[in-house]
Amino acid sequence: MTPPTSFKLKTLVPAVKAELFTDASECEITGCYISDLLSDVLAHAKPGVLWATVQTHRNVISVACTKDIPAVLFVCGRKPEAEVIKEAEEAGVILLGTPLTAFAAAGRLWESGLHE
Partner 1 sequence: MLEELSLHILDIGMNSLAAGARKLEVAVIENTKRDWLIIRLRDDGQGMDAETLQDVLDHRASSKKGRKKNIGLGLAFLQQTSEMCGGTFHVASRPGQGTTVTASMRLSHIDRPPLGNINSTILTLSARADVDVQLHYRSDDQTFHFSSQEGKPHEPRRTQEAQR
Rule CB under 8 A: which residues touch partner 1? Answer: 37-40, 55, 57-59, 61-63, 65-66, 68, 91-92
Complex with partner 1: residue 92 or 113, whichever CB lies closer = 92
Q: Quick one: which of 75, 95, 71 has its CA closest to 83?
A: 95
Residue 62 C-beta: closest distance to partner 1, Å? 5
Cα distances (Å, whole numbers) of residue 63 to 8, 42, 58, 72, 111: 22, 7, 9, 10, 27
C-alpha to C-alpha distance for 85 and 26, rounded to whole angstroms = 17
Residue 59 C-beta: closest distance to partner 1, Å? 5
Complex with partner 1: residue 10 or 58, whichever CB lies closer = 58
Residue 109 C-beta: closest distance to partner 1, Å? 24
- The residues with which 92 forms a beta bridge, in sequence order, are none
C-alpha to C-alpha distance for 28 and 10, rounded to whole angstroms = 8
Helix axes 82-91, 59-66, angle to 10 degrees: 20
Complex with partner 1: residue 55 or 98, whichever CB lies closer = 55
Residue 15 C-beta: closest distance to partner 1, Å? 27
Complex with partner 1: residue 58 or 108, whichever CB lies closer = 58
